[in-house]
Amino acid sequence: MMGARFQGFSDETWLAVDGKRKALEGWLFDAKHATYGLSLLRILYGLLVMGLLDVNFADRQYIWGVGSRWLQPLVGEEGFTRPFTLFSENSPWLFTATYLLMGFIALLFTLGWRTRLVTPVLLVLWVSLTQQNPLVSDAGDVVVRLVLFYLCFADLSAHWSLDARRRTRAAAQPDRARRIAMPPGWENLFHNAAVIAVACQVFIIYVSSAMFKIQGSLWENGTAIYYPMHMHSYDAFPMLNGMLSNHVSIVFVATYASVFLQLFFPFLLLTRPTRILALVGIMGMHVGIGILLALPFFSLSMIGADVIFVRDQTYARVESKTKPLLRRVRAGRNRDKDAHREREFAKGQGDGPDPHESMLIYDGDCGFCQRSLDAMKKRLATWPRTAPYQSLNLDQHGVSSHDAARAMLWVEPGMPPLAGAAAFAQLFRDQPQLRWRTLGRMMALPGISHFGAIVYRTVSRHRHRLLGGTSACKRPLAEAREAQPEPYVHQTRMPPTGRAGQS
């Protein structure tokens, strides 16, 4: 009798276990999960890397470059070898070139271009850079390093990426050759395993952090967050920090809430109401850390990892409600584009250029320049007045013929003239389309603007060899070898900033 009961209980148990096993296999092999969350994580981490490189560009040599070589004994203790030594060279020029390359790779990663190839490259560059100075690294750098490793096995380009657009176009062309790929089941397995690894890493960080916190008396009596808010190294907004920390109830609730949210975070994700509470609370905590403690990159690294816990259905619902709004905005811009073209056509019927409006001045004798401008006019919605400098009274615009012959100029009333790559950046910033405005702002960033100036000077020296170029495009050899910078290199109007609070 007892044996029969035990046998029945055993059979029921094994049936339940087998059902759970099949459900787990189906979850791992049948479809990819958290595709929206990983796509957003890709964008946030790409912006994080580009932001970190941008704000530290002016001090890059002192933080990670040749100015930090006195830290080599400490760096050697990290134990990193090739290929994680890309920034260990003693050449400032090679370091800057690798630094700019890393920014370009981060841009490709953000846009979702060939993420299977770009992600491992970005991981190697990130580890190579951050391990050069352990004194300025923080927990956020380690989080990004670990998560990037897991992301090498995931599909990061399912949404909001150039890869997704390319796959959509390829699907519309049945005769197009397909890439060699692993079986879908195994691809899903690697993707979902990466999702589990990122989730487990987040759980370990939060739970271990909470366990360490509850061992301290400051966290026990509810005053722990008061003290870092009054440290001068972390108070980006002293008045705001003082106003909040002076309220005992705010300090007490924030201290205990941070501990409980981190300690019970894995369990709060099990039901939808508590999951919303946990995600809003934990992301709000990191926003507070980023603002009040001046640790934006650490906060962004954790928020990026947290977004994978939002369901794909939620992202899809938000996307479906946002698309009609974007279509209306795009339709309005198309109307503005048509109206602008009509105004430009009316302007073209006038007697000549107005010295009191924005103007793009170029070399009228250069066939390559004219061909390039004609090609850009077909793609850009708005376009300023353009005129060859040979037909203008340049004194009215505050420039000389020598400057106009060396580079294309953007002349705007009340502003310094912009030359070369900076003129292109301003042209893109004036466009109504978001993609062009974003490109223009990025071209004006420190580091990218200097790289753009170098590219522009190189193209300018060899423009007679390019498509559409003639012998009239050739600059004199003595002028081509000039080492002087571009005239009016007013690359950006944004003040330089440092890595606040990162110590």
pLDDT digits (tens, 9 = 90+) for 207-234: 999 999 999 889 989 999 999 888 887 8
Both tokens assigned to 154: 């995931």
> CA end-to-end span of the chain, whole Å?
70
> Which range among 88-92, 132-136, 193-197 shows the weakest confidence by mean pLDDT?
88-92
pLDDT per position as a tens digit, 132-151: 998 888 899 999 999 999 99
Q: Of 494, 474, 255, 483, which Cα lies nearest the Cα of 363?
A: 474
> Which range among 68-72, 443-447, 467-471 shows the weakest confidence by mean pLDDT?
467-471
CA angle 465, 466, 471 (to 5 degrees): 45
> Which range among 108-117, 144-153, 267-276, 453-462 shows the weakest confidence by mean pLDDT?
453-462
Type of residue at 63? I
Task: Output the pLDDT for position 344.
Answer: 52
**Residue ranges covered by each domain of the chain:** 29-166+184-308, 356-480
What percentage of residues in the chain have a pLDDT greater than 70? 83
Contact 495, 466 (CB under 8 A): no
Both tokens assigned to 126: 């990130």
Rg of the chain over Cα atoms, rounded to whole angstroms, equals 28
Q: Mean pLDDT in the chain?
A: 82
Task: Output the pLDDT for position 108.
Answer: 95
Q: Of 265, 264, 297, which Cα lies nearest the Cα of 142?
A: 297
How far apart (Å, rounded) are the C-alpha atoms in residues 157 and 153?
12
How far apart (Å, rounded) are the C-alpha atoms in residues 372 and 95?
33
How far apart (Å, rounded) are the C-alpha atoms in residues 210 and 390?
70
How far apart (Å, rounded) are the C-alpha atoms in residues 160 and 36?
9
Q: Is 160 left (phi over 0), alpha (psi -120 to 50) or beta?
A: left
pTM: 0.71
pLDDT per position as a tens digit, 475-500: 543 344 443 444 444 444 333 333 43
